Amino acid sequence: MRDTSKHQGLRRKLADVLERKGITDRNVLNAVRKIPRHLFIDSSFEAHAYQDKAFPIAANQTISQPYTVAFQSQTLEIKKGDRVLEIGTGSGYQTAVLLELDAEVYTIERQQELFKKTSLFLPKIGYKPKRFIFGDGYKGLEEKAPFDKIIVTAGAPYVPKPLLAQLKVGGMLLIPVGDETQIMTQFIRKSATEFDKKELGDFAFVPMLEDKQ
């Protein structure tokens, strides 16, 4: 597991690309400059690691496009110590960005193979979420609720009720909603019963599936 000055140079360029595409959050850009994304994908595809593209990983899943990760991370406005629930651990790259932003992260993955792989890999390179959970993100994580932020990194056909219910008042759910392509949708909890909803543009994710595999 090597990280060279060449990799670092490629990451600086990737951060510049993201900045040109509209990412302004310093901390998010610094996380992109710091995290060795090439270690999150198969080494034979290393050349693709620092292009602004999604890429296939194990179990028919993808590592999200860097712009998408940066956009979701920036939109979440993470404050140090925020309790964050992530649905769709996947490669763990988004998880690493959240940890660089000093969030306390709980992350759920429904694919056993990815769950095993990523829960071993991330701590090895120094990223330690509070908890890796093998389970169904549609249910959220009741026993650790309420959360300051909930981020969904798979395309959801609808907004799961438990995720809204597990937000703190003032908290935010960021979820791509739709079938073929998704609309990034932000919910801010205003009170026990009221949510503000905003739509933040079109994205493409692999589908959020029900139940574990």
| Residues with active-site annotation | 64
Residue 138 CA to residue 210 CA, distance in Å, equals: 7
Nearer to ligand SAH, 54 or 167 (CB): 54
DSSP class of 156: B
Residue 211 CB, shortest distance to ligand SAH, in Å, is: 8
What count of other Cβ atoms lies within 10 Å of the Cβ of residue 17?
Answer: 16
Nearer to ligand SAH, 200 or 206 (CB): 206
> Which residue stretches of the chain are H helix?
5-20, 26-34, 66-76, 93-100, 112-124, 161-165
DSSP class of 25: -
Nearer to ligand SAH, 157 or 170 (CB): 157
Residue 74 CB, shortest distance to ligand SAH, in Å, is: 15
Rounded to the nearest 5°, which phi and psi values hold at 133?
-120, 130
Residue 174 CA to residue 184 CA, distance in Å, equals: 7
Residues 6 or more apart whose Cβ sits within 8 Å of residue 6: none
Nearest to 115 by CA among 37, 155, 58, 175: 58
Nearer to ligand SAH, 43 or 170 (CB): 43
Residue 191 CB, shortest distance to ligand SAH, in Å, is: 28
Q: How far is CA 17 from the centre of its chain?
A: 19
Residue 190 CB, shortest distance to ligand SAH, in Å, is: 26
The binding site for ligand SAH (CB under 6 A) comprises 61-64, 69, 87-88, 90-91, 93-94, 108-111, 114, 136-138, 153-154, 206, 208-209
